[in-house]
Amino acid sequence: MIQALGILGALIRGVWITARHFLVNLFFHTLQLFGIKTKRKGAVTIQYPEKKKELAARHRSLHRLLKREDGKPRCVACMLCVTVCPSECIVVEAAEDPDPEVQKTAARFDIDLTRCCFCGFCVEACPEDAIRMDTGVIDISALSRADLQYGLDKLLK
Amino acid sequence: MSPFLLVLIKVVVALAWFMILTLYLTWAERKESALMQDRVGANRASIFGLRFFGLFQPIADAIKMFFKEDFVPPFANRFLHTLAPFLSFFFVAVNVAAVPFGPTLAAAGRPLVLQILDIDAGLIFVLALLSLGIYGVLLSGWASNNRFTLLGSVRGAAQLISYEAALALSLVGLILVFPSLRLSDIVAYQGGTLLGFLPRWGVFLQPLGFVVFFIAVFAETKRVPFDLPEGESEIIGFFAEYGGLKWGLFMFTDFMEILIVSCLVSTLFFGGWQVPWLGDAGVHFPWGADWHWPAWLIAAARILAFQIKVFFFCWLQILIRWTYPRLRYDRLMELGWKILIPLSLLNIVGTAVLVSL
Ligand code: SF4
Ligand code: SF4
């Protein structure tokens, strides 16, 4: 009997909590509807495409390739990122660089974003700091798979 | 106007009103659950850039469902598979006929009953139709010819039958207290006051009966604390093999059931269209003061009161649905057979003793 009353009490408390959330949120929504600014909002939702949340400094977004001072890509085609990538989605083809100091450069650098899992290992592996994931671009979407194959042209932008 | 035409008009108006309410109940459910969880809820559907808090969402959903493929699995029984959603919708929608929307109006000298069918066994009619809803569940699960749906519908049938007993028994006390089974009489009887100040509503005459009835009827709607027939999140339910409009019809039936349940609860236990202290001449306050209202105002207040009560119970049901987790199967049976039925029997005995005193 006492247990049953306890259960009943817990049930009522549960409904009370949700009803309180409902009424309080409704109150703040109504205030906002009439243009009254309150510090507390009715919902914690961020209405994404219109309002954007600030990304954390270490957020991993779309990749980019960095350039040297002379404008050529920093990448020396060492294949470390290709090796470490768990999704095996980077393809690098090496070519000879006229600069004897550099020796090698990437003739082709493709990332298949349909397979990338944004783990950031490629950034960690790169000895030349040639690839970074700090563009802040997170709305990466396309209507065809081919549009998600990012090559040198797109990555160097 | 011929009586036939009058009934036809009543049917069309009442059904249309219920359809609209049901459509917007889906919106209300989304918005209310969102508010309870500190979210915003569906607000994107728009017409010419006007969003109106997502009020167009049900229309968008309907259009989406309309254009989906009407798929019947090759291993299913085509006829019964198609029949099942319509059957369950029919048994719920027919209940609209018994709902007393308001008092009898005097229109152009003749009485206008705001009820489609004022049957003298209205209560039994409603109970019978509520239990017939089980056919939709059973047929859809069986006709899909899929083990999971069959299991779901068997679970559903077991649950519905178990709670049917408690549902009917909880109303016996009400029948003892009220002199009639006619729903309009039941509402009319709830008009006075108890002890001078409490409105003579079923809930004050039958508090235990109300609790048992509300839990049992909630189980009949197959919604979350009692959603074993569906179990959409993990245990697959009886309409897993449905898609498009037929699935939509099942959902629509579910929401309409909420509405019907709200109508029933407010009719039987919360005075239907009665407004507390409002008599046929005006408001009679418990401290003796009188305040005269014109007849049209009284009628309007009563019709509005019924809708407000229905809305409140829809709100309450959605609140409960989004608060509690699902019951385990054995707990569900325990609640039905070992708690609700004994409680309703106790209620019958207690009421009988009190009434005979
Ligand atoms: S982020 Fe991870 S998955 Fe994506 S390209 Fe770099 S290493 Fe591969
Ligand atoms: S690890 Fe860096 S330098 Fe090596 S191939 Fe990848 S991007 Fe180029």
Q: How many domains does chain A have?
A: 2
Q: What is the A145 CA–ligand 1 centroid distance (Å)?
A: 17
Same domain for A141 and A106: yes
Same domain for A76 and A6: no
A52 lies in a domain? no
Nearest CA to ligand 2 atom 8: A75
Q: Which helix (H) or strand (E) holds B292?
A: strand B290-292
Same domain for A70 and A26: no
pLDDT of residue B22: 94
pLDDT digits (tens, 9 = 90+) for B184-201: 889 988 888 887 788 889
Q: Alpha carbon of B50 to those of A48, B44, B53, B62, B64: distances in Å?
A: 18, 9, 9, 18, 19
Mutation test of ligand 2: which of A66, A68, A76 has the most ligand atoms closer than 8 Å to its C-beta? A76
pLDDT digits (tens, 9 = 90+) for B63-104: 999 999 888 899 888 999 999 999 999 999 999 999 998 888
Distance from B43 to chain A by nearest Cα, in Å?
A: 10
Nearest-angstrom CA–CA distance, B272 and B258 = 16
Assess B233–A contact: CB distance below 8 Å, yes or no.
no
Contacts of B89 (CB under 8 A, 6+ apart): B136, B249, B252, B253, B256
Same domain for A71 and A133: yes
The residue behind tokens 């029919």 is: B90
pLDDT digits (tens, 9 = 90+) for A71-92: 889 999 999 999 999 999 999 9
A136 lies in a domain? yes
Question: How sure is the predictor about B212, in pLDDT bands with cuts at 50, 70 and 90?
Answer: very high
Mean pLDDT on B310-326: 93
Per-residue pLDDT of chain A (157 residues), as tens digits, is: 788 889 889 999 999 999 999 999 999 988 988 888 888 888 888 888 888 888 998 999 999 999 998 888 999 999 999 999 999 999 999 999 888 888 899 999 999 999 999 999 999 999 999 999 999 899 899 999 999 999 999 998 8
Q: Which domain holds residue A123?
A: 64-155
Ligand 2 site, residue A79, Cβ cutoff 6 A: yes
- Residue A65 three-state SS: strand
Same domain for A126 and A87: yes
Same domain for A140 and A100: yes
pLDDT digits (tens, 9 = 90+) for B20-66: 999 999 999 999 999 999 998 888 888 887 888 888 999 998 899 99
Tell whether ipTM is more than 0.90: no
pTM strictly above 0.80: yes
Assess B29–A contact: CB distance below 8 Å, yes or no.
no
Same domain for A145 and A97: yes
Q: Do A11 and B324 touch (CB under 8 A)?
A: yes
Q: How many CA atoms lie within 13 A of B326 on its CB side?
A: 16
Same domain for A133 and A83: yes
Same domain for A87 and A128: yes
